[in-house]
Amino acid sequence: MSHTLYVPRRTRVPLFAVLAGLLLSGCGVNNIPTYDESAKAKWSDVQNQYQRRADLIPNLVETVKGYAAQEREVLTQVTEARAKASQIKIDASTVTDPAKFKEFQDAQNALTGALGRLLVTVERYPDLKSNQNFLALQSQLEGTENRISVARRDYIDSVRAYNTELKTFPGMIWASTLYRSYKPMETFTVAEDVTKPPTVKF
């Protein structure tokens, strides 16, 4: 005598819908962790480029000071902005924290602004602008600012893909079942004119 599993009629349609959805979305089960790893890797690139910039600043400040020591205020602003930006630590595990991310972003924006003011000040010192050490630092800073822009853009793209996966079908099914610990990531929200690298060519 054969036995069949009885499923109440009122649960058949929802059950069928869930099973069908899972079958159809099976190929996307690994999307969330894949996108998560990609976004974290891009975030690491952003951090590396900001650190590269921070490493250039002491030499830049010392070189400018040698020719324009009287520009004490702007030199101090750059030094203090660098110190503040360097003190704020945010790693791949904390990009989901809006407050910490904003703190990091604000500090980097402040440093970008201070650097911009310093580079405008340099216009008044022809001897400094022709100094070989300054020219080398200027070239390195320009390259670093460009790399920061690229790294930020790549991070934003990766976060957009990850966050979209969490909120859309079929990713939202996996987000609510297998990947509950995965949270949306923060991204850069500064205005376009602030994201532009400081002008370093003279």
pLDDT of residue 93: 78
What string of pLDDT tens digits covers the 202 residues of the chain?
555 555 555 545 566 555 555 555 556 899 999 999 999 999 999 999 999 999 999 999 999 999 999 999 999 999 999 999 999 978 777 899 999 999 999 999 999 999 999 999 999 999 999 999 999 999 999 999 999 999 999 999 999 999 999 999 999 999 999 999 999 999 997 544 444 555 544 3
- Dist CA 115 CA 108 (whole Å): 11
- Dist CA 152 CA 157 (whole Å): 9
Contacts by 124-132, CB closer than 8 A, 24 or more apart: 124/68, 125/67, 125/68, 127/67, 128/63, 128/64, 128/66, 128/67, 128/68, 129/202, 131/63, 131/67
- Dist CA 162 CA 92 (whole Å): 14
